[in-house]
Structure 1
């Protein structure tokens, strides 16, 4: 009788597996009253709660304990190439599939939204003037508005509203060298567009976008920083009226609800976003652009650990669409792929509208020593004064937020440290006097006396951040109008936009900023660049330290002289004879790149070898250390060329109150290191109080 019942149930039900947004590398079996397709979105019971998930398999054998799906989403269906990409991404990064599903699926509130479009049946008089589109966007993304519309006799329509194609506001005129670069593009290729700062790479990529749009396809533009989104949005809105949207983690739920629907239904043609935009499901994706492809911000530091540039290339490959990588200072990994003929390479060696690269001068701190308490040398002070007199703008680059890097008691050697992380607290004076940890966010009031010894004399503040440099510049140029650019002063898109407008309207004489100013910005009157500590990164224990420093310095100096005004850059350094600075001074970057490549090849470092790291974290410290030693004892035999270093305490230990130990694994370039690591980790059961993060191709070693 029971077997007969099971057979009847099997005939009446359709068994499927569903990938759910939980940190597990498995799918779960459910029943559906009708056949479903892979990629459909369903709501299912999961323990005491309900979750939305993605139908992963449809040809599934009978499973006795399978529960029925609760709801089938009426319109969402994910592209098959996108699902294959997610599967490969999970395999490559050793990330549980469920963690990636959590990236893809929006908040439950968005999926619960009654998808469709609504029209008014009322015969009441209405204004003949159309409501501006942004007002509709703001209104329709709110549940209160939806409820109000229902009360006013709104009728539901399942078919999508047809939106007219974007209108081109003005034509884009490329210079001859830009046209030649554009004509070299190959369809369905991974292409590196390398051009010096100010060469018009954005304009060329915009022309590429127009070509894709004419074929009724969508374009995804990835940016390393949210701060750059508004600038790209303004640039593209100039040529495409509407149909350009921004997607990043800073959007409100109302905005995400509306944008997610419009992107999935193909009603947005150009989508500009940060890392998270890579996980969006598109209807007709035709091109992926990765701006500033070399930027380390594309690397995700928290699980899931992945590099957005590499995953963009992977997604483009599965979708069989082109991927365009933009950079003035390409990463060595990308240049290696060019050498191996994996990527097409288009190089632009002149600036837009005949502008010239800035002259780069080295201020040797051994010959021009700083006076105590001073961070801006006398030669740089003189240049800033001259630039101000000419009515032009200057930029001072400081690679440190806040006022100072350390609070120190001269008597007992007290140092302001974070109770949650093994780092010193940064001194901030603006907007209020505080000590702040830039890793966990801990803050405390700035003490007037030493908390340890009670010494009533002022505590010493070591190092210099943007606030300190602003104070110093004000002391010798009190008439100058200064503006600080850092994540502390630019809290949101509106404040950033207001600051950029003040610069463009020449309401600012000197910009003082962190790496926010190194990327993508165009200031016509900016002619002078000053780098306060040009050698700040060379002492870091990082295989990419020199590469990153050259990229940052070249990008920052490239902000000057982008139009008719000749630019100059002044680098303060105690290592003026270093090959990196000599290459920058003589504009011979290729020589530095070749030398760096040779060193990487000699030591089998990326891109000529592979790296992977395993980070164990938890509490108490003894338990984490014990598990690390236990994992070491279960280390399998090492394949040829594979080496395991550690376990060793991580440089930041603890971090956010979690103690951390790590292994570093090196291997030959083409060895399947993921498979070997997976087998090793599976040999031992991990305690529940310890987290194990695997980072394939790590970029940070803290």
Structure 2
């Protein structure tokens, strides 16, 4: 694996066949390391616009160069990916070595091991079968599968599969293309409505042109956006080219893959950080070999070595989850547009609640806008109502209003499903002492510890520090004085169990759905109506289709409006409209109830009126005069150090060296909202410029003026979306 070097290193070679993209073994200090041969500085400079160009390399004495040991016999990085690495590095100001490391996560010098597949053995005289073994044989009747896929499809352990192999009930199958383990025999393309077919035809035409074009596909929740853009994927496959579909959350991939497999008769390639090393190596090699395929993955899938990319799709393009906040800090949506532009292929941004940045690009004529205004199959949008908690508050010590509880009872009595949404994990966000007022905080972060009563511990959601729930106050040692303040979804679950006895509850959060398999099981239970009421965090807002769900209750609709975040109102409307969009997606009408203490807030009014575009027009009007994004440029500089004094000194030095000029302004320094994170003290500065001013050259010159001490660090976030 290449080391994450800050700069490109120079070596000498006598191998005339060595070309950019090849992997080589080189000396680095006293070690042997793997490196990638990069393009010459002039070639890299020609790829980048002038305002993103890297500083010219320092001259190197040829006599000091060490020789390359040897070339690694493995497929190299294609030019398109090297170009993408250069662009991402130049745009984000991240070292090229760090970006290259992201592109190498699935690389290996040895070919990946083939997945062994198993099929039904030739008919014989099978022994008496247990129920579990019969399930395996039923699953294996469809097509050859791996042991893991057979176990998942049959709902048994791998030990049962091994037993079937020993009993000669299963036999090894001839090699088949990998990643078709879950395939059905016959693809089932959907029947599109007239309005869907018009949009689908436009998307297919864009793929056929094989040229860059950015398209916003907007459609109300339940309008069938996925089925429509899969028509573009089908067109790309017909051209025998590669497609990339980005999803904001791993958990979403379960339902998406099932839908894809039903549609096409084979499974896509899956890529995200939770996949095992062997799987990642097979996907990397499959993509690098240029075979037609469809990859569905998280934002990191952008760095796969596509050699014949024909289409890029960003589903739920408005999602903040597409922004990577650590390491190489980049926005997956924006880099997806760049990747498509470099490959000269269309990119489709899909959302029911597009970001203001994307809408601004539509208004400027840079993106084409296609709209699905109605729900599929005649389903109606849900009725959205605000419950003024000042007029009908919950009982003392509770968090669900009588109106919401009554609506839940009526919904469940009709045999329908309900959902309660609260974007807060755990039991309570704060624990304090009634005797002395002490609040239990994280020792490493400026944050309260969140009580997770089910796990019997308190956790920091920023650094994952954890401790057992104390039995006495850490400050005054009083016993039985600690009380939870505010609700998390565990506390809401406890209240529901008390108020709606006998209701079958499923909790959906990152604490309960820890894998794609857990998400698959949860979705299956909901679809089979083995669940009456779903209680979830933001995970439930992301594109799920629950056909029997007709009521959504938002426990704290005001939660996201707190604080001074530039995008707080926009995010609240997007999140809650997406959550509400889970209700009434089929024949039965849906209802959304918003518990709020701010019914007159513009965000609440927009949700009730369901006039998303009027709200976004107001947001644009508020940001335009101050040149706030998307009408200006923004870059954040986060200073951190081991002591507050060191952080303050560096922040002051950074402020003193700040660039000056017309159309730009430096805000700060100021303590970051999370003043302490993972033991480091943090300060923030913001560089704000008018739209036409490039921020990267300003930042390069600014940072060159500083000399950092060993404990000090500056992180640059171009186009920040959060301000923690």
Common fold by TM > 0.5: yes
Task: Tell me, yes or no, if structure 1 residue 698 matches structure 2 residue 680.
Answer: no
Shift of 1:444: 0.7
Question: How big is each residue's C-alpha offset from its partner over 1:651-682, in whole Å with a ceiling of 9 and x where there is no partner?
Answer: 11210111111211110012011101100100
SS in 2 for 1:572: strand
Instruction: Check conservation: 2:11, 2:68, Cα contact below 8 A.
Output: no
Q: Given the superposition, is the C-alpha separation of residues 673 and 118 from structure 1 closer, same or farther in structure 2, using an over 3 Å criterion? A: closer
2:128 corresponds to which residue?
none
Query: Counterpart in 2 of 1:47?
Result: 29
Segment of structure 1 superposing worse, 263-272 or 359-368: 263-272
Alpha-carbon contact 2:633-2:719 (below 8 Å) kept: yes
1:132 pairs with 2:119: no
Q: Aligned-pair distance for 1:618? A: 2.2
**Does residue 1:493 correspond to 2:493, yes or no?**
no
Q: Deviations over 1:142-175 (max 9, x none)?
A: xxxxxxxxxxxxxxxxxx9988999752233211
Tell me the equivalent position of 1:653: 675
Instruction: Tell me, in whole angstroms, the C-alpha distance in 2 between the residues paired with 1:437 and 1:132.
Output: 45
Which has the larger displacement, 539-548 or 28-37? 28-37
1:32, 1:522 → 2: CA distance? 59
Residue 687 (structure 2) aligned to one of 660, 665, 668: 665
Partner of 2:309: 285
What is the 5 A alignment of 1:604-619? Answer: 604-619=627-642
Q: CA deviation at 1:133?
A: 4.2
Give the CA deviation at 1:524: 0.6
1:359 shift after superposition:
0.2
Deviations 1:622-641 (A, max 9, x none): 222212222222234x1211
SS of the counterpart of 1:293?
coil
Instruction: State the match for 2:20 in structure 1.
Output: 38
Query: Contact between 1:262 and 1:268, CA under 8 Å: does it hold in 2?
Result: no
Query: Equivalent of 1:476, from 486, 499, 505?
Result: 499
Tell me the equivalent position of 1:463.
486
Q: Does 407-416 or 362-371 show the bigger shift?
A: 362-371
How much has 1:88 moved relative to structure 2? 1.5
Q: Distance in 1 between matches of 2:81 and 2:405?
A: 54
Indicate which of 164, 171, 188 corresponds to 2:189: 171
Structure 1 residues 308-347: Cα deviation after superposition (integer angstroms, max 9, x where no partner): 0000000100110110100000000000000011011101
| Secondary structure of residue in 1 paired with 2:400 | coil
Kept in 2: contact 1:20–1:53 (CA 8 A): yes
2:10 aligned with 1:28, yes or no? yes
Q: 2:658 & 2:469 partners in 1: Cα distance?
A: 48
The alignment partner of 1:205 has SS state of helix
Q: In structure 1, what is the equivalent of residue 38 of structure 2?
A: 56
| Match runs of 1:213-228 below 5 Å | 213-228=237-252
**What SS is found at the alignment partner of 2:539?**
helix
Match of 1:145 in 2: none
Q: 1:41, CA displacement in angstroms?
A: 2.2
Structure 1 equivalent of residue 360 of structure 2 = 336
Measured at CA, do residues 417 and 161 of structure 1 come closer, stay the same or move farther in structure 2, by a change above 3 Å? same
| Structure 1: stretches of 5+ with no match in the other structure | 1-18, 120-125, 140-159
Alpha carbons of 1:672 and 1:27: their partners in 2 closer, same or farther (altered >3 Å)? farther
1:226 is paired with a residue of what secondary structure? coil
Contact in 1 for aligned 2:179/2:268 (Cα 8 Å): no
| Match of residue 316, structure 1, among 316, 336, 340 | 340
Alignment of 1:85 with 2:84, yes or no, is yes
Distance 1:324 1:281 in 2: 20
Q: 1:243, 1:268 within 8 Å by CA — same for their partners in 2? A: no
Residue 350 of structure 2: aligned partner: 326
Which residue of structure 2 lines up, in the alignment, with residue 412 of structure 1? 436
- How far apart, in 2, do the equivalents of 1:68 and 1:428 lie? 56
Q: Which residue of 1 aligns with 2:590?
A: 567
Contact 1:82–1:319 under 8 Å retained in 2: no
Q: Which runs of 5+ in 2 are unaligned?
A: 43-59, 124-139, 152-174
For 2:466 and 2:115, the matched residues in 1 are separated by 48
Equivalent of residue 682 in structure 1, options 704, 713, 717: 704
Which moved further from structure 2: 571-580 or 189-198?
A: 571-580
Counterpart-to-counterpart distance in 1, 2:319 and 2:112: 37
- Contact kept, 8 Å, 2:556 with 2:595, in 1: the verdict is yes
Q: CA deviation at 1:649?
A: 1.6
Decide whether aligned partners of structure 1 residues 164 and 504 sit closer, same or farther in structure 2, where only a CA change above 3 A counts: closer
Q: Which residue of 1 aligns with 2:73?
A: 74
Once the 2 structures are TM-superposed, how far is the Cα of residue 45 of structure 1 from its aligned partner? 2.0
1:440 is aligned to 2:463: yes
1:554 aligns with 2:554: no
Q: CA 1:416–1:115 in structure 2 vs 1: closer, same or farther (change >3 Å)?
A: closer
Relative to structure 1, the CA distance from residue 391 to residue 127 in structure 2 (aligned partners, 3 Å threshold; closer, same or farther) is: closer
1:104 and 1:138 map into 2 onto residues whose CA distance is 31
CA distance in 2 between counterparts of 1:218 and 1:134 reads 24
| CA–CA distance in structure 2, aligned partners of residues 332 and 539 of structure 1 | 20
2:131 maps to which residue?
Answer: none
Distance 1:534 1:309 in 2: 27
Partner of residue 144, structure 1: none
Q: Which deviates more, 320-329 or 682-691?
A: 682-691
Choose from 526, 530, 547 the match for 1:507.
Answer: 530
**Deviations 1:360-406 (Å, cap 9, x if unpaired)?**
01100111123221100000110000001000000000010000001
Which residue number corresponds to residue 401 of structure 2? 377
Is 2:553 the counterpart of 1:530?
yes
Matched position secondary structure for 2:683: strand
Matched, 1:261 2:269: no
Q: Could you tell me which residue of structure 2 aligns to residue 300 of structure 1?
A: 324
Inter-partner Cα distance in structure 1 for 2:440 and 2:178: 58
Please state if 1:450 is matched with 2:473: yes
How far is 1:59 from its partner? 9.5
Which of 47-56 and 416-425 deviates more?
Answer: 47-56
Question: What SS is found at the alignment partner of 1:417?
Answer: coil
Asked if 2 retains the 8 angstrom alpha-carbon contact of 1:172 and 1:207, the reply is no
Structure 1's 255 and 306: CA in aligned 2 closer, same or farther, altered over 3 A? same
Q: Secondary structure at the match of 1:335?
A: helix
1:184 counterpart = 2:202: yes
User: Residue in 2 aligned with 1:644?
Assistant: 666
Q: Any idea what SS the aligned residue of 1:238 has?
A: helix
Change (3 A) 1:207 1:64: same
Change in 2 beyond 3 A, CA 1:58/1:588: closer
State the distance in 1 between where 2:2 and 2:473 align: 52
Q: What do you get for the CA RMSD once the two structures are aligned?
A: 2.5
